Structure 1
Amino acid sequence: MGWLLDASVHVLGADILWREVIGNTVGLASAVLGMRRVTAAWPVGILANVLLFTVFLGGVFDTPQDTDLYGQAGRQVFFAAVGAYGWWRWHRNRDGGPAVVPRWASGQERLSLLAATVAGVAVAYAVLDRLGSYGPLADAWIFVGSLLATYGMARGYVEFWLVWIAVDAVGVPLLLDAGYYPSALLYAVYGGFCAWGFLTWRRLQRPSAPGATDPSLEAVG
């Protein structure tokens, strides 16, 4: 296991863990599958969560980046839990068609998500600040926003893409400052991908949208 934890590549004067590169690549693959409403997005995402959990505890695992981002690491655990829920929900919904039908969240659902955001960020900030996490406020938003976005994806809310974009906007500068360059690059790429995903799901949620029955977008796994 030692070589797996320590394997790295030297890029522009910095050691980059292969775990970080592979974990983020697998995470992006999960996002692509999610946009296409393929149920396999969830187990693929859980694999990325396992890899990235070890990456963001740099001090604990004595990696080149010795900064512990407890919010980033902790969210991988919750991601796996929410991912299991999403996997179950999408698999249950499969009936020869898409695993989920995109829809806008109702007014009550949006209010509930907003309340969860405010309460979640407040609690996460207090915990992460006490733990000594790097950039606790930004880390708290990334932690809470990521969980809400993942939950929104499981429920089929079109808005979950917008939440991810807001997470990426905060995540890129935080990760660059902390030295997690592959993750920062993924966040930047993912932000653009989320804009594409939002437009795709917004089109699909319209009853008259021709793409709603596009076989290339149906769930296959």
Structure 2
Amino acid sequence: MLHSLYEFWTSAAGNSPLEWVAVITGFACVWLAARESLWNFPVAIFSCILFAVVYYRSQLYSDSLLQGFFILMSIYGWYEWLYGGNRNTALVVTRTRPWEWAVVGVGTVVFTLGFGYYLRHHTDAALPYWDSFTTAGSLGAQYLLTRKRLENWLIWILVDLIYVPLLWYKDLHPTSGLYAVYLILAAYGYVEWRRAARVAAVTPTPVS
């Protein structure tokens, strides 16, 4: 019994200190995003650099490459949150446009099938289609987040539900636990942003 508990703790402790630092900073950036704090972007950039290495070592190549996109989107989102609103003002929380839903939906299907096929037949990637789907969903969710679209949190909830067992299967136990916490944060973020969207909808736009 004690031996089994020791093995579980050793496994849950993670593969390296690098993964733990990535997990802690990953938690911080999502919490800050749920609170609509601009600090989520610099923290996200640092966390993504670490996760790129963690995923690559675990043969999750699609998710490793995804971190590079997140870094670029974090830079873009940082600017958009500051100046992407009316008359170069700060963005407010709004609903996702129908054309944005169409782009995210079609893009997710195309990316999942195309990149999943490539990973399956040309690499030693583990779970290529699941890897590709979570990557595609994350791309869509991150774009909507940079535009402060409320429904980005709904996509994150779906993606996190898949990431938890996938990462546990790949022995990334701290990271799997992080995504379980992300589920809670995504639900919290949705509630907070929905409240912010209601406020923004009834607040007159200032005239310069």
Q: TM-score, normalised by structure 1?
A: 0.80
**Residue-by-residue CA offset, 1:68-90 (whole Å, 9 max, x unaligned):** 11112111111111111111211
2:164 is aligned with 1:184: no
Match of 2:101 among 105, 110, 118: 110
Partner SS, residue 72 of structure 1: helix
Shift of 1:127: 2.4
Shift of 1:99: 4.1
2:39 is aligned with 1:27: no
Cα distance in 2, alignment partners of residues 114 and 21 from structure 1 = 33
In the alignment, what sits opposite 2:9? 12
Cα distance in 1, alignment partners of residues 81 and 118 from structure 2 = 32
Shift of 1:11: 6.8
In the alignment, what sits opposite 2:117? 126
2:41 is aligned with 1:42: yes
2:73 is aligned with 1:82: yes
Bigger mean CA offset, 126-135 vs 190-199:
126-135
Partner SS, residue 15 of structure 2: strand
Aligned residues: 192
Partner SS, residue 122 of structure 1: helix
Cα distance in 2, alignment partners of residues 118 and 209 from structure 1 = 32
- Closer/same/farther in 2, CA of residues 167 and 102 from structure 1, 3 Å limit: same
2:191 is aligned with 1:199: yes
Q: Tell me the amino acid that sits aligned with residue 126 of structure 1.
A: Y
In the alignment, what sits opposite 1:175? 167
Q: Tell me the amino acid that sits aligned with residue 35 of structure 1.
A: A
Cα distance in 1, alignment partners of residues 52 and 100 from structure 2 = 30
Partner SS, residue 174 of structure 1: helix
**Residue-by-residue CA offset, 1:33-52 (whole Å, 9 max, x unaligned):** 11121222111101001111
Q: Tell me the amino acid that sits aligned with residue 67 of structure 2.
A: Q
In the alignment, what sits opposite 1:139? 131
Q: Answer yes or no: is the 8 Å Cα contact 2:34–2:185 preserved in 1.
A: no
Shift of 1:207: 3.8
Q: Tell me the amino acid that sits aligned with residue 92 of structure 2.
A: V
In the alignment, what sits opposite 2:143? 151
| Structure 1: runs of 5+ lacking an equivalent | 1-9, 59-66, 213-221
**Residue-by-residue CA offset, 1:153-204 (whole Å, 9 max, x unaligned):** 0011111001111111110111111100011000001011101111111121
Q: Tell me the amino acid that sits aligned with residue 68 of structure 2.
A: V
Between the aligned residues of both structures, percent identity stands at 30
Q: Answer yes or no: is the 8 Å Cα contact 2:93–2:200 preserved in 1.
A: no
Shift of 1:114: 1.1
Cα distance in 1, alignment partners of residues 180 and 85 from structure 2 = 32
Q: TM-score, normalised by structure 2?
A: 0.85
| Structure 2: runs of 5+ lacking an equivalent | 1-6, 204-208
Cα distance in 2, alignment partners of residues 57 and 84 from structure 1 = 23
Q: Which runs of 4+ in 1 moved over 6 A?
A: none
